[in-house]
Chain A
Amino acid sequence: AQSVTQPDIHITVSEGASLELRCNYSYGATPYLFWYVQSPGQGLQLLLKYFSGDTLVQGIKGFEAEFKRSQSSFNLRKPSVHWSDAAEYFCAVGAPNDYKLSFGAGTTVTVRA
């Protein structure tokens, strides 16, 4: 079965600085990979996803993620953070032909002025 680890529980970043959130997965082949964001009091929203092809994926709100097979990673990046990016970010992994997505425990991002 697949699993995902988000090593950072909480990250604080200054507004305008760059942000990188780590995600490591465990799966024997190339999985489906997702990043979701959850703003306070709201449900999760998809930022981006990777199935195959170009390993650098562009998403909404200026986010991108890079799939690295050799490191079993799918890290999320944003070059310049805005205060509205303060939220909880979840990495998820799914197996082809499966129904289940496995989510990480999430990384909380705080943006300071």
Chain B
Amino acid sequence: ETGVTQTPRHLVMGMTNKKSLKCEQHLGHNAMYWYKQSAKKPLELMFVYNFKEQTENNSVPSRFSPECPNSSHLFLHLHTLQPEDSALYLCASSQGNGRARETQYFGPGTRLLVL
């Protein structure tokens, strides 16, 4: 595997379910990000991790819970989601410490549908 991978690619869940999104980067990077992409809206930064430590939480509801066990893996745990949470969730990584000047490398995303 190369680059940034995300699993699953598609997910349908009910509002009472608990699920997790997984992201893995094979680039040796130190920073990892979660973004939410809704149709025709700007990408919304959710979380930034630098060397496994969270450096940014962009006022994300607690029903989204990130976990970064090491610099290569990032999870997004989902519980009691709302239909408006349906979106494409993108993971990205960068080589440095998560600063804005760094080139970010994106995975293909997980398409989430909340029923």
**Interface set of A (CB-CB < 8 Å, partner B):** 4, 9, 32, 36, 41-46, 49, 51, 90, 94-106
Residues 81-114 of chain B: 1 if any A CB is under 8 Å from the residue's CB, otherwise 0?
0000000001010000011110111111100000
Complex: chain B residue closest to A44, CB-CB: B106
Q: How far is the CA of A4 from the CA of B45 in the complex (A)?
A: 14
Indicate if the CB atoms of A101 and B55 lie closer than 8 Å: no
Min Cβ gap B34→A in Å is: 13
Indicate if the CB atoms of A99 and B43 lie closer than 8 Å: no
Q: How far is the CA of A103 from the CA of B55 in the complex (A)?
A: 19
Cβ contact of A43, chosen from B55, B99, B108, cutoff 8 A: B108
Closest 3 CB pairs of A and B: A94-B100, A43-B106, A103-B43
Indicate if the CB atoms of A99 and B55 lie closer than 8 Å: yes
Min Cβ gap B105→A in Å is: 8
Indicate if the CB atoms of A43 and B40 lie closer than 8 Å: no
- Majority secondary structure, B binding face: loop
Point out the residues of chain A lying under 8 angstroms from B103, CB to CB: 46, 49
Known: A42-B108, A43-B107, A99-B48. A9 touches B101 (CB 8 A): no
Point out the residues of chain B lying under 8 angstroms from A44, CB to CB: 90, 92, 104, 106
**What number of residue pairs across chains A and B have CB atoms under 8 A from each other?**
58
Q: How far is the CA of A97 from the CA of B90 in the complex (A)?
A: 23
Min Cβ gap A2→B in Å is: 9
Indicate if the CB atoms of A103 and B100 lie closer than 8 Å: no
Residues 13-41 of chain B: 1 if any A CB is under 8 Å from the residue's CB, otherwise 0?
00000000000000000000000000011
Q: How far is the CA of A95 from the CA of B108 in the complex (A)?
A: 26
Complex: chain A residue closest to B90, CB-CB: A43
Min Cβ gap A78→B in Å is: 20
Indicate if the CB atoms of A105 and B106 lie closer than 8 Å: no
Point out the residues of chain A lying under 8 angstroms from B101, CB to CB: 32, 51, 94, 96
Does B76 make an interface contact (CB < 8 A)?
A: no
Complex: chain A residue closest to B111, CB-CB: A41
Complex: chain B residue closest to A3, CB-CB: B42
Indicate if the CB atoms of A99 and B100 lie closer than 8 Å: yes
Mind listing 13 A-B residue pairs with CB under 8 Å? Answer: A32-B100, A41-B108, A44-B90, A46-B103, A46-B105, A94-B101, A97-B99, A98-B99, A99-B55, A103-B43, A104-B42, A106-B40, A106-B42
